[in-house]
Amino acid sequence: MIMARIQTYIVTVAIAVLFGVGILIMTNSGPIVFASPLSATTNQTGNQTGANITTTAGGGGDQETATKQLDQAMKALESGDKAAAEGYMKEADKTLSEGAAKTHLSEAMKALQADDIGGAKTHTQVAIDNL
């Protein structure tokens, strides 16, 4: 009888934790924006002028270097150079610590490996936006 209550309690706590983490992820990540040449240019210009580089909300580490690497990865994706994009993403991954930007970079790398260029562009742009 006591084991059944303990197991029920553990399951209840696990569900609550998963639900809470899901809510945090949904509230802390911005809306997914499908990259268009116009929006990508606007965001890249903002990042190149130094906007959002000093914040650590999206992920710590060397954000200036990561931003440059991700901008280059986006350009490579847009030109169809999958190998170059993957190389830039790997370099950006080395410089970022945990955070939303690193999470989306990981998803972009997975999408690229699955030949989902659209998904890779989307996650790369969201990673840039979280820096």
Residues 49-97: pLDDT tens digits? 444 444 444 445 568 888 899 999 999 999 999 999 999 999 999 988 8
The residue assigned the tokens 């210009």 is: 45
Residue 70's identity, in one-letter code, is: L
Asked whether 95 and 66 are in contact (CB, 8 A), the reply is yes
Domain ranges (residues) in the chain: 1-30, 33-129
The residue assigned the tokens 């998904």 is: 119
Q: Helix, strand, or coil here: 37?
A: helix
Asked whether 92 and 66 are in contact (CB, 8 A), the reply is yes
Highest mean pLDDT among 30-39, 43-52, 64-73: 64-73
Mean pLDDT of the region 21-29: 54
Report the predicted TM-score, pTM, of the whole model to 2 decimal places: 0.53
* Residue 38 reports pLDDT greater than 80: no
| The predicted structure's pLDDT at residue 8 | 72
| Residue scoring higher pLDDT (42 or 63) | 63
Q: What is the CATH number of domain 33-129?
A: 1.20.120.660
Q: Helix, strand, or coil here: 57?
A: coil
Give percent of the chain with pLDDT exceeding 70. Answer: 55
Contacts 24+ apart (CB under 8 A), 48-56: 52/131, 53/131, 55/131, 56/99
* Tokens, residue 8: 């029920």
| The predicted structure's pLDDT at residue 106 | 92
| The predicted structure's pLDDT at residue 79 | 92
Query: Minimal CA–CA distance to 28: which of 119, 99, 109?
Result: 99
